[in-house]
Structure 1
Amino acid sequence: MKQYFRPFCTLPDLPGLFGFVAFATLCIFGGKEVLKDGDTFWHIKAGQTMLSQGSILTQDIFSHTANGVPWTAHEWLAETIMAGVHRLAGIQGVALFYFLIVAISFCLLFRIAQHLTSDWLALLWVSTAFFFSKSHLLARPHIFSWLFGIATLGLLLRSDRSRYLLPPLIALWANLHGGFILGLVLQAIFIAGAVLDIICQDGLQRWRNALQSQKFAMIILLLSTVASGFNPFGYHLLIFPFVVTKTIFTTGIGEWIAPDMQKQVFFRYYLIAIIFIVSLPRLRIDWTNRLLLVFWVNASLTHGRYISMASVFLVPLLAQISNQLIDRLPLREKKSSKNELMLSPYSGLIATVGIFIILFGASTFQSPLRPFMTAIIPIESKCHPVSAVKFLNSTPLPGKMFNKYSWGGYLIYALQPSKPVFIDGRADMYGEEIFSEYRKVVAIDKDVDSILDKYEVDLVIYPNETPLVKYLLAGSRWDEIYHDEEASVLLRKPSPLP
């Protein structure tokens, strides 16, 4: 479809329109999902703390189990941005901000796919990616990795000159989210793929020439690696992914657990379809796409959180393959003699940003429309102990607290005055010992009472009707002082006088 440069007063092109529709869809249907994860809330609280004290957090201040323990706040820039947005428009503003980032990301992804195949095939594969992205579409800093990862992919698919932008992009990315490692991995995959293409075509004896052809790309990769150290924690961030993927975390944290393919029916069929398509004869699949396919299939089958990213980063492969299949058909697009529509690559983005500004303004604390925004983007009581926190805020209780892992972030954010938690989503900071002790308590291990005594826990806030709550109430040491549909608050009875 021929396009003309008309930034204003014209219809948006398909990428711009897709971004607009994506943003509108998220605002209408995604409001109840985007805030369901507790990590969003401690990210905001961390950002607020860093803004108020004017320095980056380097140790824990939010828990009583790991207080003072060194903490790598590798998402510090994203957290301060979230805190700044929250100051203006509350948690709803943070959700809208991430909706905008997602919309821009998919607009960019559509533009990349459009250069590789027809508009309709691009629409098919980008829509599929958007569908699967909802599995991990949360108001958290990892959304920046979607945007920067897609931008990296786009630069790698363009000319070598564009790769000059990769080192500064990686430097910024490394301060927003630990997913900057992906930017380095993508560069390495493209280099390895290009080398293997030459070797397979010209023979193994040409390996020197193959490496020589990638000299510029390897220099850019080296510069990108150096640039990744331009953050408050230096090159320590390069090993951070290996900390969060330890077995104890990947078997105990929902998003890091391998997906259950009996439940992930659509993704299972998606993978089967890909396997079927790539097995068709006479398809030309270069080594870069083969490596990308292996990398993302492995990642998505190992950790459920990567299903969303796999579907995004496999779009170029699927676009190129489907384009080859369409070219085999005895069909040719007929050129119309009629005047074509003038489509703008900018008007869709401008409209999206405009709607964002309107909704963001409606979310500000002074806006009369704020109640409406809190209704369409609520903090769900099914996911967070909203009513129990209101009780605790109105009735401050002494003693140290034990809480559900996924509730820790909301407790850090919402308790007034603040009260140190037992654990929250920063599993890497708590370490294996505290995390394993938390799991023992939840599983009613034989050491449950001794662990609670060890940490001097006098207050428990946990989902009601769970084995832990029933176990504690069955004994003589705990009283239930609050109960609602989601949470119970238990207080330790005073020890009898000797």
Structure 2
Amino acid sequence: MYLKTMKKNKTGIETPEASCNWHWVVALVLVAGLALAAAIYPASDPDLYIMLATGRYVAQTGQAPTADLWSHTAYGQPWLMHEWFSSLIFYGLFSLWGINGIILFKAALLVMTFGLALYTMKLKRVSPHIAFITAVLALLASSYGFGERIQIFSFFFLVLLIFWLEINRAGKIKYPAFLSGIMGLMILWANVHLTYVFGIFIIGLYLFDEIIFAFRKKAWGLVKKPVVSFVAGFAVTGLNPYGFDNVWLTLSYYFRPELQKADAQITSSLLEYQPLLSPGFSREPLVIYGMIWIVFSAIGILIGWRRLKFSFLLLWILFTYWAIGYARFLWLQVFITLIGVGWHWQGAFSALNSKFKITNSKFRIPQNVLFAGLVLLVLTGAGLYQRTGKHIWQRVELGWKPRMYSDKAADFIKQHREGGKVFNDFDIGGYLLWKEIPVFVDGRIGPYFGIRVLQDHFRILGGDLGLLDKYGIDWLFLPYAKTSQTEDFDRFNKKIISTGGWALVFWDDACLVYVRRAEKYKNMIDRYSYQYVNPAVPDFSLEPKLFLGELTRRIAEDTTLLMPHTLAGNYFFYHNDAKMAEREFQKVIKIDPYNAMMYNNLGNAYLRQGRVGEAVESYKKAVKIDVNLGLAYTNWGYLMEAKGDTKEAIRLYTIATKVTPGDAWPYNRLGMIEMKSGNRAGAMKYWQKGAKIDPNSESAKNLRDILQYKK
């Protein structure tokens, strides 16, 4: 065996560096099971369709795209698609086994990644106890990045590269084999994901370690092989036509303001590009586990500092800094440092053991008992976490996330488009181009850089509808807004309706489709338009025969829809028929038991009937399913305020301001509480924040009233 049951250090003290191999087997099985549980869930990543479309193009033409082919705003513009091979793999999996093939492949690759990390720690004589805990914490911190994205290849490649460098450093592989492996890995990586640039960086840092070692030993011949490895690893990335360009682009990013400006404009609306401690993540487990991992790794490095090398220190500092600034770098930080963190914690244990004689104490816990306790602790934690309904141990399920996209809406546009151009939301662009509908914009940055399309996209959503005429737009394809963007979405839809130049011709559980009122679409509009029901901005003051009549028509067209029942429930609630509202909301929950908004609405219906306890439970269920549903926190807070529990109301309103910073209502309620307590300055502070969000809100009205009263 490579590891014996126990090993004595130089002082004769037994250490857990070499425990029974069955500990490693159990650790591997458990970590693999947890990785599968965290990775197998319905697909929902909007960029996946871009990868599938790219893979389809490569399969059909035998070459990678070099220019935009799928938009009507940037057609023919250069597009450096270096990630063609991973796209081809995804497309192949999708063609053979559908989306489930991609989900299971992703899960299997993650299991291999964590398995290889554990094996590398075993080779470095890290105890299974430390390796197990390190891997579990790493899994928790990185699981937010387990989507159906090509970055999962990079997770594996990062661990594989570090494994390869470590066994070479330990002399367990001959140099020709090592060099061939490095070159093969970098060739593959350069055609799979942009993070191969980090791979080159890591090889360079290991080279720097060797330079330091050679300098200390005054043996410069030791540098030759690391230099050759670095040069060869970098050189072979040039087999990808854009390999060197991407390295230069990455290096020059911080010196090119125009790149930074374009990047900021795009990523400002994407949650994963926000700081780890930003309000948008405030209720996500990602923050808790991310900070636990960072603190855990920092403590291990500090206590086990005698093992610290320059390469690892720089990697940890750099990627931790990026992870705190941009949440998506957290999972890269995890996989780059995972093996090193376990190694340093082994050093930390050795240091603590040397100082406090832990393994020589009469209170020493037997190794088998200790390991069994760790296993029980992890399994108990996983079970409890599953019961909370949060997002790490998601219910294991395959397929697509329900109501994510609408095949029927895309087919409707393809059938009736008549060459008309489509304006679409940023996230839905990948899906539309996969459906072979020319898009206004999508998740790719390259084709749109420098031609103002991205800027104009945001200006249109901000209300500059004149740009729709400039681009010759006839169709609007709009998915429903995220909970944190509902105010902006509502304003845009209201502006579209107010012009009178657009007709709503299709809607379902996923999106809305408008068409320009033009002569060539007249017959289609007469047949399909909705005059009284718009799910984005419903008018509940309409007579029942008008509003409910169109809902009945839509249900007859598609009996699987949930949105008509949602709208009917809200309509009944508006007209004080809480019992009928409850019935409609329950219909939705029966089909979709993980619909957080319906539990919020159901809570409102219960409250209207005086069923306070059931209302509270519904609000709790809503925020358990969606920790960022600010509306549920606000409604729950309002209930607690009415009951006289001001402290709890303030807590809930405050959470609402963090998870949905674009909603002025919780600021209004916080201001009212302060005003009732006699704190006029505190009230004005909250109302000013609400008025800044929405000048027409209750906060703004109360602020104007108090300022006028002052005068």
**TM-score by shorter chain over 0.5:** yes
Q: List gaps (5 residues or longer) in structure 1.
A: 5-9, 339-374
Q: Determine helix, strand or coil for the equivalent of 1:421.
A: coil
Does structure 2 conserve the Cα–Cα contact (< 8 Å) formed by 1:92 and 1:377? Answer: yes
Q: Partners in 2 of 1:235 and 1:279 — Cα distance? A: 37
In structure 2, which of residues 95, 98, 114 is the aligned counterpart of residue 90 of structure 1?
A: 98
1:129 paired to 2:153: no
TM-score (norm 1): 0.79
Could you tell me whether the CA contact under 8 Å between 2:304 and 2:347 is conserved in 1? no
Query: What residue number does 2:76 align with?
Result: 68
Deviation at 1:491, TM superposition (A): 1.0
Task: Specify whether residues 295 and 476 from structure 1 end up closer, same or farther in structure 2 by C-alpha distance, changes over 3 A only.
Answer: same
Q: Is the 1:40–1:409 contact (alpha carbons within 8 Å) kept by the matching residues of 2?
A: yes
1:377-410 deviation digits (Å, cap 9, x = unpaired):
2322454345533543565564101111111111
User: What does residue 453 of structure 2 align with?
Assistant: 434
What secondary structure does 1:127 align onto?
helix
Identity %: 19
Cα pair 2:48 2:148 within 8 Å, conserved: yes
1:248 matched to 2:262? The reply is yes
Larger CA Rg, structure 1 vs 2: 2
Partner Cα distance (1:184, 1:384) in 2? 38
2:226 corresponds to: 217
- How far apart, CA to CA, are the structure 1 residues paired with 2:475 and 2:145? 32
Find 1:31's aligned residue among 38, 41, 46: 41
Query: Structure 1 pair 402/260, CA: closer, same or farther in 2 (3 Å)?
Result: farther
In structure 1, what is the Cα distance between the partners aligned to 2:83 and 2:193? 5
Aligned equivalents of 2:420 and 2:444: distance in 1? 22
Deviation per CA, 1:231-272, whole angstroms, max 9, x where unpaired?
243522323446886332245322334333552233234323
Aligned mates of 1:109, 1:281 — CA distance in 2:
19
Distance 1:318 1:197 in 2: 22
Number of positions where the alignment pairs a residue of Structure 1 with one of Structure 2: 438
Distance in structure 2 (CA, Å) of the matches to 1:232 and 1:281: 43
- Return the match for 2:420 from 395, 399, 406: 399
1:144 paired with 2:143, answer no
How many Å separate the matches in 1 of 2:219 and 2:320? 27
| Greater relative contact order (Cα < 8 A, sep 6+) | 1
Listed as ranges, the matches of 1:299-448 within 5 Å are 299-327=322-350, 328-329=352-353, 330-332=357-359, 376-386=397-407, 388-392=409-413, 395-396=416-417, 398-413=419-434, 415=435, 418-432=436-450, 433-444=452-463, 448=464
Which residue does the alignment assign to 1:360?
Answer: none
The question of whether the paired residues in 1 share the 8 Å contact of 2:36 and 2:108 is answered with: no
Equivalent residue letter for 1:213? L
Quick check: 1:294 aligned with 2:317? yes
Deviation at 1:23, TM superposition (A): 5.4
Q: Distance in 1 between matches of 2:82 and 2:191?
A: 6
CA distance in 2, matches of 1:186, 1:398: 50
**What secondary structure does 1:13 align onto?**
helix
Checking the alignment, whether the CA contact within 8 Å between 1:78 and 1:176 is kept in structure 2 is: yes
Task: Tell me the SS of whatever aligns to 1:155.
Answer: helix
Partner of residue 462, structure 1: 478
Tell me if structure 2 keeps the 8 A contact 1:15–1:107. no
Q: Which moved more, 1:382-391 or 1:94-103?
A: 382-391
- Is 1:104 aligned to residue 123 of structure 2? no
Q: Choose from 172, 178, 189 the match for 1:173.
A: 189
Q: After TM superposition, give the deviation of residue 298 of structure 1 in Å.
A: 2.0
- Deviation string 1:128-182 (CA, Å, 9 cap, x unpaired) is 1111222111222221111111111111112253641212210111111111111
Note the alpha carbon deviations across 1:272-305, whole angstroms, 9 max, x for none: 3444444448654222221121121122123221
Question: Which structure has greater helix proportion?
Answer: 2
Contact kept? 1:60, 1:66, Cα under 8 Å: yes
Deviates more, 1:72-81 or 1:429-438: 429-438
Q: Of the candidates 46, 55, 65, which is equivalent to residue 54 of structure 2?
A: 46
Q: Distance in 1 between matches of 2:242 and 2:81?
A: 8
For 1:268 and 1:26, how far apart are their aligned partners in 2? 19
CA distances 1:334-374 after superposition (whole Å, capped 9, x unpaired): 999x9xxxxxxxxxxxxxxxxxxxxxxxxxxxxxxxxxxxx
1:9-31 Cα deviation digits (max 9, x unpaired): x998356525642453246xx32
Matched residue, 1:491: 515
Seen in structure 2, the aligned counterparts of structure 1 residues 395 and 267 have a Cα distance that, compared at 3 Å, is same
Distance (Å, rounded) in 1 between the aligned partners of 2:333 and 2:305: 25
What is residue 247 of structure 2 aligned with on the other side? 238
1:184 pairs, out of 181, 200, 211, with: 200
Structure 1, residues 76-123: CA drift from partner, whole Å, max 9, x if none? 111112222211111221222222211111111111122331001101
DSSP-derived class of the 1:380 partner: coil
Distance 1:45 1:13, change over 3 A: same
State the partner residue of 2:276: 259
CA contact (8 A) 1:37 1:383 kept: no
- Measured after TM superposition, the shift of residue 126 of structure 1 is 1.1
State the one-letter code of the partner of 1:484.
D
Cα RMSD of the aligned pairs, angstroms, is: 3.2
What is the rounded CA distance, in whole Å, between the counterparts of 2:138 and 2:467 in structure 1?
A: 44
CA distance in 2, matches of 1:64, 1:173: 31
Q: Deviations 1:40-62 (Å, cap 9, x if unpaired)?
A: 11211111122112222111111
Partner-residue secondary structure (3-state), 2:475: strand
